[in-house]
Amino acid sequence: MMRVRTLFARSARAAAEYYGNYLAKDAHEIPGRWTGRQAPDLDLIGDVSVDALSDVLAGLDPRTGQPLGRPLLDRITSNGKTIPAVGGFDATFSAPKSLSIWWGLTGDERLAECHDIAVRAAASAIEHYGSTTRIRSNGRRMHIDTNGLTMAVFRQSTSRADDPQLHSHVIISSRVQTPDGRWYALDARVLKKHQRTFGGRYQSVLRAELMKRFGVAFDDIDNGLAEIAGVPVELIAQLSKRAADIDIEMDERVGAFIDEVGREPTRFERAAIEREVSRDTRAPKTGRSPAELRARWIAEAAELGIDVRSLTASIATAARRAPTRQPVSVEAILAELAEHRSVWHRLDVLRTLCDLTPPQRGHDGTTWAAALEHAVDTVLADCIDLDPASDTGQRRASDGRSIWTEPIAAQATSEHVLAQEERILTWAMSTQVDDPCPAVDIDPLGLDDAQLAAASAVAGEDQLVVVVGPAGAGKTRMLDAAIFDLQDRGRPVIGVAPTAKGAEVLHWETNLDADTVAILLRDLDDPGPDSFAAGLPAGTTLIVDEVGMLNTADLHRLVELVKRQRWRLVLVGDPHQLRPSAEAACSPNCATPSAPSSSINSTASPRTGKRAPRSHSAKARPGHSTSTRRSAASGLDASTNTSTPSPTSGSTATAEARRSPSRPPATRTSQPSTNVSS
Q: What is the 3-state secondary structure (H, E, C) of 482-549?
A: HHHHHHHCCCCEEEEECCHHHHHHHHHHHCCCEEEHHHHHHHHHCCCCCCCCCCCCCCCEEEECCHHH
pLDDT at 640: 55
Residue in 179, 24, 203, 26 with CA at minimum distance from that of residue 34: 24
Q: Are 242 and 100 in contact (CB under 8 A)?
A: no
Question: Among 211, 197, 248, which residue's Cα sits nearest to residue 99?
Answer: 211
Strand-pairing partners, residue 455, are: none
Residues 241, 282, 197, CA angle at the centre, nearest 5°? 80
Contact present, 508 and 610 (Cβ < 8 Å): no
Please give the Cα distance from 456 to 83 (Å, whole number): 45
Residues 6+ apart with CB under 8 A from 473: 450, 451, 593, 596, 599, 600, 631, 634, 635, 636
Q: Where are the beta strands (DSSP E) in 15-132?
A: 33-35, 75-76, 82-83, 86-94
Inter-residue contact 439 to 487 (CB < 8 Å) = no
| C-alpha to C-alpha distance for 312 and 103, rounded to whole angstroms | 11
Q: What is the rounded distance in angstroms from the CA atom of residue 592 to the CA atom of residue 468?
A: 7
Q: Which domains does the chain have, with CATH numbers?
A: 2-74+83-324 (no CATH), 416-605+614-658 (3.40.50.300)
CB burial of residue 619 (10 Å; 0-12, 13-18, 19+)? middle
- At residue 514, φ and ψ (nearest 5 deg) are -140, 155
Buried b (16+ CB within 10 A) or exposed e, 188-207: bebbebbbbbbbbbbbbbbb
Contact 386, 412 (CB under 8 A): yes
Q: In angstroms, rounded to a whole number, what is the distance separating the alpha carbons of residues 132 and 396?
A: 9
How deeply is 30 buried, as exposed, middle or buried, from its count of CB atoms within 10 A (0-12, 13-18, 19+)? Answer: middle
In 3D space, the residue among 207, 230, 220 whose CA is nearest the CA of residue 356 turns out to be 220
- Rounded to the nearest angstrom, the gap between the alpha carbon of residue 270 and the centroid of all alpha carbons in its chain is 14
Q: What is the pLDDT of residue 249?
A: 62
**What pLDDT does residue 632 have?**
29
CA distances from 453 to 264, 460, 471, 544, 586 (A): 35, 10, 18, 18, 17
pLDDT of residue 359: 87
d(CA 22, CA 113) in angstroms, rounded, equals: 23
Count how many Cα atoms sit within 13 Å of the Cα of residue 478 in the half-sphere of its side chain. Answer: 34
Provide the whole-model pTM: 0.79
CA angle, 173 as apex, 167 and 174 as ends, to 5°? Answer: 130
Q: Tell me, what amino acid is at 98?
A: S
Say what the pLDDT of residue 337 is. Answer: 94
Q: d(Cα 122, Cα 218) in Å, to the nearest integer?
A: 20
Q: How many other CB atoms are there within 10 angstroms of residue 140's CB atom? A: 9
Q: Phi then psi for 249, rounded to 5 degrees?
A: -65, -35
8 A C-beta contact, residue 92 and residue 5? yes
Q: Using an 8 Å Cβ cutoff, are 579 and 548 in contact?
A: yes
Looking at residue 468, the DSSP 8-state letter turns out to be E
Output the CA–CA distances (angstroms, integers) from residue 110 to 1, 114, 217, in the order listed. Answer: 20, 6, 17
Taking each helix axis from N to C end, the angle separating 365-381 and 109-129, rounded to the nearest 10 degrees, works out to 30
Q: Is the sign of the CA dihedral 414, 416, 422, 425 positive or negative? A: negative
> What type of residue is 273?
I
**Residue ranges of the alpha helices (H) in 140-227?**
189-193, 195-214
Question: At a CB cut-off of 8 Å and minimum separation 6, what does 146 contact?
Answer: 38, 131, 132, 133, 176, 177, 178, 179, 184, 186
Identify the segments of the chain with pLDDT beneath 50: 580-634, 641-678
Strand 140-144 to strand 133-137: parallel, antiparallel, or no bridges (unpaired)? antiparallel
Q: Is 268 exposed, middle or buried (0-12, 13-18, 19+ CB in 10 A)?
A: exposed
Residue 267: CB atoms within 10 A of its CB come to 10
Query: What letter would DSSP give residue 218?
Result: B
Q: Is 630 helix (H, G, I), strand (E, B) or coil?
A: coil
